Amino acid sequence: MPRRGLLLILSSPSGAGKSTMARRLMAWDPTLRFSVSATTRPPRPGEEHGVDYWFHSRESFAALVDAGGMLEHAEVFGNLYGSPRAPVEQAMAEGRDTLFDVDWQGGQQIRNSVLGKDAVSVFILPPSIAELDRRLRSRGQDSDAVIAGRMAKSRDEISHWAEYDYVLVNDDADRTFADLVAIVTAERLKRDRQPDLSAFVRSLNTEFDAR
């Protein structure tokens, strides 16, 4: 039965597993659309417009914001980033879900947007702060100063956990992923996401009357 697509928001402090869960979800269901962000930063070598990011001038980005064309946006290190609205609306109309890998501020803006009633938000917590620190260090990508900055930001991120529809503690990646799949499956089956359900029930009643 046709259904309306949903907006799946994943947030977590850095190192808690958000990006890993997003990748696993995309592999689990290839029909999931990952929200490609728009940005004003210049492309890096090998990056493609519309694949890695939607690259904009500062002026065209601002024009999109003014026209209501961004579901969320923010300035990070002097560059603007945001989630374009039009591709999400198209996916929803096609019954496809859009996955957002965003921080709590981005998630809040999406929930407060014109499409917010179709948003489902999931916050992923680490099992402990010590484990969060260990995961960040095990990447071997960042200096001690960068890790300290990420840990400090994590405290602020975690303080927004209660704003989310679902909260998962990622102490076991496979179990957390199974819970995430269960959430997506249940949300897809909600009555208000199946616009043709009323007509289907009416057809059942017509069959009763014809007996």
Contact 110, 10 (CB under 8 A): no
Q: How far apart are CA 123 and CA 13, in angstroms?
A: 9
Q: Residues 198-202: what's their mean pLDDT?
A: 93
Q: Is the pLDDT of residue 126 over 80?
A: yes
The Cα-based distances of 170 to 124, 149, 151, 208 in angstroms read: 6, 22, 17, 49
Task: Give residue 146's pLDDT.
Answer: 85
Banded model confidence at residue 188, pLDDT cuts 50, 70, 90: very high
Share of the chain above pLDDT 90, in %: 76
Q: Is the pLDDT of residue 95 over 80?
A: yes
Q: Which residues are paired to 98 by β-bridges? A: 7, 33
Q: Residues 53-69: what's their mean pLDDT?
A: 95
Task: Give residue 140's pLDDT.
Answer: 74
For 118, the token pair is: 């179709």
- Pick from 2-6, 85-89, 207-211: least confident: 2-6
Task: Give residue 15's pLDDT.
Answer: 87
| pLDDT, averaged across the chain | 93
pTM of the model: 0.86
- In the chain, the domains with their CATH numbers are 7-202 (3.40.50.300)
Banded model confidence at residue 12, pLDDT cuts 50, 70, 90: very high
Q: Residues 43-68: what's their mean pLDDT?
A: 93
Q: How far apart are CA 46 and CA 207, in angstroms?
A: 59
Task: Give residue 80's pLDDT.
Answer: 94
Task: Give residue 4's pLDDT.
Answer: 87
Task: Give residue 138's pLDDT.
Answer: 87
Strand bridging mode 54-55 / 98-101: unpaired
Task: Give residue 142's pLDDT.
Answer: 77
pLDDT digits (tens, 9 = 90+) for 127-183: 999 999 998 888 777 788 888 888 988 999 999 999 999 999 999 999 999 999 999
Task: Give residue 149's pLDDT.
Answer: 86
